[in-house]
A and B are shown apart, each in its own frame.
Chain A
Amino acid sequence: MVIYSFYIFDRHTECIYSKTWLPPPPAPGAQPQHDISTSTTGAAVASSDPHHHNPNTLRSSRSAVSAANKASDDAKLIFGTVFSLRNMVRKLGGEDDAFISYRTAQYKLHYYETASNLRFVMLTDTGTLSMRNVMHQIYINLWCEYVVKNPLAPVEHKGGAGVRNELFELGLNQFITGLIGQAGGQR
Chain B
Amino acid sequence: MSSASKASRLGEEIWKTRIEKVNAELVVLTYGTIVAQICKDFENDYAEVNKQLDRMGYNIGLRLIEDYLAKSNTMRRCSNFRETAEMIAKVGFKIFLNVTPTITNWTGDNKQFSLVFDENPLADFVELPDDGRAQDQLWFSNILCGVLRGALEMVQMQVETHFISDVLRGHDTTEMRVTLVRYIDDELPPEDD
Contact = CB atoms under 8 A, between A and B. Distances in A.
Contact of B66 (A13, A79, A116, A136): A116
Given A96-B76, A117-B156, A144 B67 contact: yes
Nearest to B192: A76
A98 B77 CA distance: 11
Contacts of A140: 70
Given A117-B156, A155-B63, A76 B189 contact: yes
A115 to B, nearest CB: 5
Interface in B35-82: 59, 62-63, 65-67, 69-70, 74-77, 79
A131 to B, nearest CB: 15
A93 interface: no
Nearest to A114: B69
Interface string A59-71: 0000000000000
B192 A144 contact: no
B67 A13 contact: no
B187 interface: yes
A98 B91 CA distance: 24
A91 interface: no
A91 B70 CA distance: 27
Contacts of B132: none
A149 to B, nearest CB: 7
Interface in B135-166: 154-156
Nearest to A148: B66
Interface string A98-109: 100000000000
A181 interface: no
Contacts of A83: 188-189
Interface residues of B, number: 22
A143 B63 CA distance: 11
B65 A149 contact: no
A29 to B, nearest CB: 31
Contacts of B187: 11-13, 117
Given A114-B69, A139-B70, A144-B70, A149 B189 contact: no
A178 interface: no
A116 B67 contact: no
Contacts of B65: 116
A23 B190 CA distance: 30
Contacts of A96: 76, 79
A96 B76 CA distance: 7
A143 B69 CA distance: 12
B22 to A, nearest CB: 14
B193 to A, nearest CB: 12
B131 interface: no
A55 interface: no
Interface string A129-173: 000000010011001100011000001000000000000000000
Interface string A108-126: 0000001111100000000
Interface of A: 11-13, 76, 79-80, 83, 95-96, 98, 114-118, 136, 139-140, 143-144, 148-149, 155
Given A11-B154, A11-B187, A149-B67, 13 more contacts: A13-B187, A83-B188, A95-B79, A96-B79, A115-B77, A116-B65, A116-B69, A116-B155, A117-B154, A117-B155, A117-B156, A143-B66, A144-B67
30 contacts: A11-B187, A12-B187, A13-B188, A13-B190, A79-B189, A83-B189, A96-B76, A98-B76, A114-B66, A115-B75, A115-B77, A116-B65, A116-B66, A116-B69, A116-B154, A116-B155, A117-B154, A117-B155, A117-B156, A117-B186, A136-B75, A139-B70, A140-B70, A143-B66, A144-B66, A144-B67, A144-B70, A148-B66, A148-B67, A155-B62
